[in-house]
Structure 1
């Protein structure tokens, strides 16, 4: 199943997490005596040479990456706690599981039980996806195959085009259907087109052949060769990740008739009807110039190749839920080859992720939902989310908004008219903490404790129906696009900034820590999300949530010059020998990181109300804010996961989310006495100052 298109900007490189990790009854911080694990630092390193290692070096050197993960970090420690808590919730819920159970707890328990019944799953082999594969075999025309692609949001079928429903960026009072390019089994077009990924592409060919063999597809090796060649042609026609970041270029509304004229050769009516969008009159196209090429490619490709490709996509999308040979092949390709993970996670962890949501094999990036993720979120927050945390976060948000307001007013490069619009937009943001006000209704979702594949498709159908059924109604401003158990935050299309319960734990938020640490961690996260509304993409959305240019030409030019300067800095960073960060791809996240930490420092100063700042363990308040930020990013990835991240992820690797930010903030130089000659030193005139 392809993921929905979500018009939101995430904090990034993260995975499902937990609520507050520390014992609520304790008054001791989780890390050290005041919220920082000083034993994990390496203070023999000069802060001005490598601030990330200064704060984290000893921990990095002594902490191995677990064999069943592509990374290790303090954020993943949050995940481990969440997994344990969700495991306990689901184990307990199985006691309430009956066939066609009606309670929320029973449905969660039955779904988890269906995943954990590995003996039953092994006995079935490929039988659970036999109906989907038979449908492909019987779809002997391109029109029939296009109709199967229309099931991509409700079944395991793949599609050349991804469909999603979200707020209309030009008319935020209503929803719109968005259509974007798809069709690739590897993480990005570069994996097909660049020699650096030849090894991964060869492994992918073998993987497709294995899936087709396991699925009973004839001539599997030759078919796999055709499938990979087909996807390579799709990659050649597709836009790059950088091109996809432009919200103006990817907003192309048109009628379905105009879509048919733009991209003839694809059965759009059959495709949309299968998506339950047969009466659709208006649609927003993303990568406009790619659509005619993809449709022409589809029209020219032999039906047998498209059938084999669809069979491979079905097997790939379903492999996680099938017998061990499918799961082993999936692990070897997606986790081991692409991310460097050495050992498959134990079954109960995979079961937790299947029901609740979690890592989808992309390093630490959270890109997918669990099948009953919102139901699990309700059970989770009922048990683990402390109300006191919500109040503290709301106060921190208020302080950060005040700091941002003051910074915008003082900007020396922005004219009064643009400032006025920026301040108006800042004031419109709604802050959401913990969990949604309205829970998702699962009453009509049928869950059987012995039908895992059926549970997946029924849950997907109900989820898609939720979005389709509200398409013509008013926009729900209380809606969330991220589940409560998620360890992430986002700035969304509803002009909302959301902090799920899952992110409100150490090291991001510790109610028992020194306030400076919390400002450096959760404060900078809050500032990061606020800044996303004004990064290179977010700045194109106005105070009403509409895609509109509200900048004077001179102000826009000044912003772009500063952003370009920041992009050049990041493009010079080299996480691995010969592997550079793409400063254009990571632009929005880098701007948000810089703005977030800058705002957090300002807000910390405001919170002191002129009172003297205590020195703790020889560290000043400013030093503790900076080191709180650095500790929040403590962790490391395998080399393969880094390559994958740099190629396809809009977030910079964690070391550069620290070093790339602090060396642009004047107060960091003052706090740590950074001087010319230090490796991170940037002359004052060359430091990037945006917000």
Structure 2
């Protein structure tokens, strides 16, 4: 299980941050005082030295900071930065991501232009992959040439045994009836285990198939149009395309009904069900696990960890009783839909038209941006070596490492000072905290791509090669010592994550830049930015699910019963707070789905503030741009979350994303934070102040 700092919609996650600078802005001091109507207003005076890292022009001083701190800190930026047509949202994260992409583009175009790279080298593979993705004319000329043999393979299936053989072949691409792979055993983190889980849906969430609200119906209608048009492009006539689309949707709807929802999937214990291979084979005979294991090189496996037994029971029934003709269309659909990005423009356009209904984007992203994303996803560490050589210094890595250790010390003090936790649980918590592995910037051991063959002949064949390489790379872990050097994100990624099974916190080079970290900025800016990120990832080790994992990465309850109950009572307060947040009419944040991220935001900000208060800047208490050090800390936190977002995207993310919308990630923790309220002289009754009885405090 891993938890990322930010998630959106680029595959599983997207990350966006902004370069923020403030030296040339007017110097201001923010105070508040009551008006005749009893409302607070902002009074501005010029005083204090000029600083870096807080963009004063972003502030909307017409909004009292104790009324809506997100708008106060970001209001003018929100007004002056409309969403570009190709984007689903636009905020600080997007701007930093764009900046990193620009750096990456220069590197990629250089290696793509270099035809002298030695065959088999990372430079050759990165250059050829990017060049083939950019070669739209070659893609158009190829048409379905490189896809047809795989379509023929599906067409040749005649019976259930044929479906079983197809699903068992690691070389095949596209979703199957269930997820299958190798990963750490959650209850024995020193071993890799075979794992199976629910899967097989095209739409982003099971509820899109099942709900009858207007938006779900609109998405299903657009999905059917997308399916019919793709089937027609594959050669089906209108009636056949409609029949095949209906078959795929019927199968996927049946899968959706058997699938657990996203809240249920967060419960680690209920999603861990270990069976012997013999037991799993007897329970799900039609899935033919012995064949799947044999074809995957896993014949030595004795056990299988089943994530969702009820789903597997339904998948087992479906393979036997669904018409073979319909199952073939399901496999055909998922093959084609998974590789539209490398097919002719007509396929890309259909995929985009469907995505518009989900995201609200007006035009597709530029081809080079899509090609970069594909290259980063396919050869992330091969490209990452070239990226960090140009864009991330050893000094930056060392500075970030020191900040992590400062945060670790601050967290230890908070654990020791926690009044509601017993000595026994504190000892285990400190043991886990001290055992956190810290990864910064880029891997110490780079991924070996020597078995991956990439050429300029076909962008589609390159996708197939990458899929096969990744599958066998995953399967190859079985029986080997657990590799604790692996990374789950590539170096340019503007994100961070916590991995419970490895008990590690990871910060790619892409996020270790302004506004999260700026060596020219004061400590308030850096602790309000990267400090809060570090604290966020650390807190995932102690959120409602991470707390169930011990210092060695094993799923084990190390809390006393009383302490566990006290923690969950405090967490429930947070859940109820976020349930009440509404970014759009009739749309509410799901406090249970977002629980882990909300706890991490609150904990991360708490620990970052405690660490910041130990710095010379905090102790000196000198104004910069008219703000106290504490005010600059909270402004830094608020400005990293600035974002304008399309309503379609907001609706999708509220349903599918475990992170709350940006404005609530800003104000949610602060409403519980007496130190914030003191810094801006907020009073009881202000919107940014929760009453003591309703306030959440954990660490």
TM over 0.5: yes
1:176–1:284: 8 Å Cα contact kept in structure 2? Answer: yes
Q: Cα distance, 1:141 vs. partner?
A: 1.6
426, 432, 435: which one aligns with 1:419? 426
Post-superposition shift, 1:588?
0.3
Q: 1:594 to 1:51 in 2, by over 3 A?
A: same
The equivalent position to 1:572 in structure 2, one of 576, 580, 585, is 580
How far apart are the structure 1 equivalents of 2:293 and 2:115?
Answer: 36
Unpaired runs of 5+ in structure 2? Answer: 28-49
Q: Mapping of 1:253-332 within 5 angstroms?
A: 253-332=274-353
User: Please, which runs of 5 or more residues in structure 1 have no aligned partner?
Assistant: 1-6, 357-369
Alignment of 1:583-598 (within 5 A): 583-598=591-606
In 1, Cα distance between equivalents of 2:646 and 2:14: 19
Measured in 2, the distance between the counterparts of 1:581 and 1:17 equals: 20
Q: Does the 8 Å CA contact 1:521/1:628 hold for their aligned counterparts?
A: yes
Matched residue, 2:7: 13
Q: State the distance in 2 between where 1:270 and 1:575 align.
A: 49
Which residue is 1:148 aligned to?
166
The DSSP-based 3-state class of the residue aligned with 1:164 is: strand
Question: Equivalent residue for 1:606?
Answer: 614
- 1:265 is paired with a residue whose SS is helix
Instruction: Name the stretch that deviates more: 286-295 or 47-56.
Output: 286-295
Aligned partner of 2:657 in structure 1 is 649
| 1:209 equivalenced with 2:232 (yes/no) | no
Deviation for aligned residue 1:262: 2.4
Residues 130-164 of structure 1, C-alpha deviation per residue, up to 9 Å, x if partnerless? 1111111111222322332345x654222121123
Equivalent residues of 1:18, 1:504 under 8 A apart: no
Which residue of the other structure, out of 669, 684, 691, is the alignment partner of 2:692? 684
Residue equivalent to 1:349: 369
Whole-angstrom CA distance in 2 between matches of 1:236 and 1:387: 51
Q: For the residues of structure 2 that align with 1:332 and 1:506, how far apart are their CA atoms?
A: 35
The 3 A distance-change label for structure 1 pair 533 and 154 is farther
Moved more, 173-182 or 92-101: 92-101
**What TM-score do the two structures reach when normalised by structure 1?**
0.93
Number of the residue aligned with 1:157: 174
Deviations 1:528-549 (A, max 9, x none): 0000000001000011111101
Number of corresponding residues: 667
Separation of aligned partners in 1, 2:73 and 2:391: 30
Aligned residue among 204, 208, 214 for 1:191: 208
1:551-610 superposed Cα distances (whole Å, 9 cap, x missing partner): 111111111111111101101111110011110000000000000001000000122388
Task: Work out the CA distance in 2 between the residues paired with 1:203 and 1:450.
Answer: 34
State the distance in 2 between where 1:538 and 1:265 align. 35
- Cα distance in structure 2, aligned partners of 1:21 and 1:109: 28
Q: CA deviation at 1:78?
A: 1.1
C-alpha spacing 1:263/1:674, structure 2 compared with 1 (3 Å): farther
In 2: Cα distance, 1:690 partner to 1:10 partner: 21
Q: What's the offset of the Cα at 1:85?
A: 1.5
Aligned pairs for 1:606-685 within 5 A: 606-608=614-616, 611-685=619-693
2:404 to 385, 397, 405: 397
Hey, what does 1:123 align to over in structure 2? 141
Once residues 692 and 111 of structure 2 are traced to their aligned partners in structure 1, the CA distance between those partners, rounded to angstroms, is 58
Contact between 1:126 and 1:214, CA under 8 Å: does it hold in 2?
no
Alignment-derived partner of residue 363 in structure 1: none
Q: 1:487 and 2:494 equivalent?
A: yes
- Aligned 8 A contact 2:117 2:124 in 1: no
Map of 2:36 onto structure 1: none
Give the alignment's TM-score, normalised by structure 2: 0.92
Report the 3-state secondary structure (helix = DSSP H, G, I; strand = E; otherwise coil) of the residue aligned with 2:347. helix
Q: SS where residue 127 of structure 1 aligns? A: coil
Match of 2:468 among 461, 466, 471: 461
